[in-house]
Amino acid sequence: MTGTMPRWMGPLAMIAAAVVVLPIAATVARLDWSRAPELLTTPAAIGALTLSLATAAMSTGLCLLLGLPLGYALATWRSRLKPAVRALILAPLVLPPVVGGLALLYAFGRRGLVGEALEDAGISLAFTTAAVVLAQTFVAMPFMVLATESALGARAGHHEALAGTLGGSRTRTLWQITVPALRPALITGTVLAFARALGEFGATLTFAGSMPGVTRTLPLEIYLQRETDADAAVALAVLLVAVAVTVVALAYRPLAARPTDGAGR
């Protein structure tokens, strides 16, 4: 904690909160509570929610499995190219999701750079559930990489060095010392990645399409319902917000400057 903030920041903070909270509140206000149970239990709604949770969980798992090593590599890599490579890896954060979807098509689509070869091998990614997971992983990965890299960068490596003098292999040191120390950062990265994957829309629509039960996730279902039944769209939207807010509230703790490890002197 840095102490009490200056008084003039108070109103600004309230405006900031209002910018975020008002639209959400407006959505909830727009909800027709009497029809909500019925709207949320249609086969389409349940299918979309199930698909969303399943794919978001899978892509979060992939982000953890792949993003941790990538963040580690970035943190320890000594090269002048590092800023450029880091910027490239974080590009999905700033890329419009539709562009991300197009990029995925050019890479993994039927005529894509890698997709064509995969097609020859009998593997078709585009417009499958796997494509949804890939799109979500693409947009969510930067959160995991950022969290891991910055947490590792803040460590002095004192315990890792001592583990070395005791004969500890790199793998043993990773599991017993580094990963436990990174736990808060990994949780933060996981939660942010899951939230981002759950809300993914543009890249999914572009790259994976909108096939009910296969690639039509909750955000896509909301977008489609809006055309026919606005009340259904609102009910689904409130559901999505509720899931996301619950996950973040339960698991997310801000990455404060906590003591990382005990480097004496």
Please report, as ranges, the residues that interact with another protein according to CB under 8 A: 158-159, 161-169, 172, 176-177, 180-181, 261-265
Closest contact distance (angstroms) between CB of 160 and another protein is 9
For 250, the token pair is: 């339960």
Closest contact distance (angstroms) between CB of 123 and another protein is 40
Q: Are 78 and 177 in contact (CB under 8 A)?
A: no
Q: Compare residues 169 and 246 and give the one whose CB is closer to another protein.
A: 169
For 41, the token pair is: 């239990």
Q: Compare residues 110 and 170 and give the one whose CB is closer to another protein.
A: 170
Which residues contact residue 132 at a Cβ distance below 8 angstroms, ignoring those fewer than 6 apart?
Answer: 51, 55, 204, 208, 215, 217
What is the distance between the alpha carbons of residues 209 and 196, in angstroms, rounded to a whole number? 18
For 229, the token pair is: 């039944």
Q: Compare residues 119 and 261 and give the one whose CB is closer to another protein.
A: 261
Closest contact distance (angstroms) between CB of 177 and another protein is 5
Q: Which residue has the tokens 């026919």?
A: 228
Closest contact distance (angstroms) between CB of 188 and another protein is 18
Query: What secondary structure letter does DSSP report for 114?
Result: T
Q: Compare residues 72 and 127 and give the one whose CB is closer to another protein.
A: 72
